Amino acid sequence: MRNIKSTNAINILLVEDNEGDIILTLEALSEVGLDKYVSVVKDGEQAMSYLKQIIDSQSTNFPNMILLDINLPKVDGKQVLSFIKSTEELKQIPVIMLTTSHAQKDINESYSNYANCYITKPVDLETFFGLIQCIQTHWIDVVKLPTNN
| Boundaries of every domain in the chain | 2-128
Whether CATH 3.40.50.2300 fits 2-128: yes
Q: Which pTM was predicted?
A: 0.88
pLDDT at residue number 9:
64
Closest of 52, 18, 48 to residue 121, by C-alpha: 18
98: amino acid identity, one letter: L
- Label each residue of 85-127 as H, E or C: HCCCCCCCCCEEEEECCCCHHHHHHHHHCCCCEEEECCCCHHH
pLDDT digits (tens, 9 = 90+) for 11-69: 899 999 999 999 999 998 888 776 568 899 999 999 999 999 999 998 778 898 999 99
Higher model confidence: residue 57 or residue 3?
57
pLDDT at residue number 35:
55
CA distance 100 to 78: 14
pLDDT at residue number 37:
80
